[in-house]
Structure formats: C-alpha cells, structure tokens
Amino acid sequence: MVIMRSMARPAKTQQPDYGAHLASLRHAASLSQQQVADLVGVRQATVAAWERSATPPRGEFLVPLSETLAVSLEVLLQADKRKSARHRGPASKLENLVAQATQLPRRRQQRIASLLEALIAEEAKAS
C-alpha cells in the first residue's frame, strides 16, 4: 500500500483568520485551489493569496466564490464569527446529507438510519 503525503509546503506563519476560514470552506466543498480558481476565473496563485490574507477578496469575486463554494455571502464573509460556539463554519458533507435525509418520508429515513448503523458497526469491528 502506498501512502500519499501532501505536496503542499508547510506554512511559515500562522494563517490569518479570514484565510483559514476561506481554506476551510474550500476543503468542505472538496475542491482544490486550482478547481476554485478555474470556476471563479482567476489563477491558482490568486486563490492561494486569498487563503493567506486577513481580508476577503475584492467584491467582484465574492458572488462567484460563494457560488463555487456553495455557501451564502454571509457565511463567506463571517470569518471572525466562525470561532463562536453558535457557528463553527460550513456544514460537513455528512451533515448536509443528514439534513437532506430528514426531508424524506419516515420509512426512507428509517432505511437510511439502518444502513448507517450497519456501516458504523462494521467500521467499529474493523478498528
């Protein structure tokens, strides 16, 4: 089995709050810097600079960026609030799936819950 290591350089300084917030939104969307750059219409180096910045990108990039990351402008701009207990950043993929599942009929929800329980039990045995 081959173990892949991150090719990214380690940071020399701590990432500013906004840059860390933007990077966490990008990771939550399962996108690379290059993918975000392609979708927003900028270079990868620009996305990297945004993730090292203490301030949000220029206004013209906010809507395309929020659409690319599938978050509201409010979430995109609230880096300083992301540390609060009430808001911890964007929902994870699993949280989004659970939210979608709660909209299904009760029988479907029970089926999904059973599948999840079986998968979790299987993972617990494997650990």
Pick the CATH number of 17-81 from 1.10.3720.10, 1.10.260.40, 2.70.150.10, 3.40.50.720: 1.10.260.40
Sequence ranges of the domains in the chain: 17-81, 93-126
**pLDDT tens, position by position, 92-123:** 788 788 778 788 888 888 898 889 889 988 98
What is the predicted pLDDT for the residue at 16? 77
Q: For the chain, what's the residue count?
A: 127
**pLDDT tens, position by position, 33-70:** 999 999 999 999 999 999 998 888 988 899 999 999 99
pTM of the model: 0.54
3-state secondary structure of 117: helix
Q: How far out from the chain centre does Cα 50 lie?
A: 15
Measured CA to CA, the distance from residue 37 to residue 33 in angstroms comes to 6
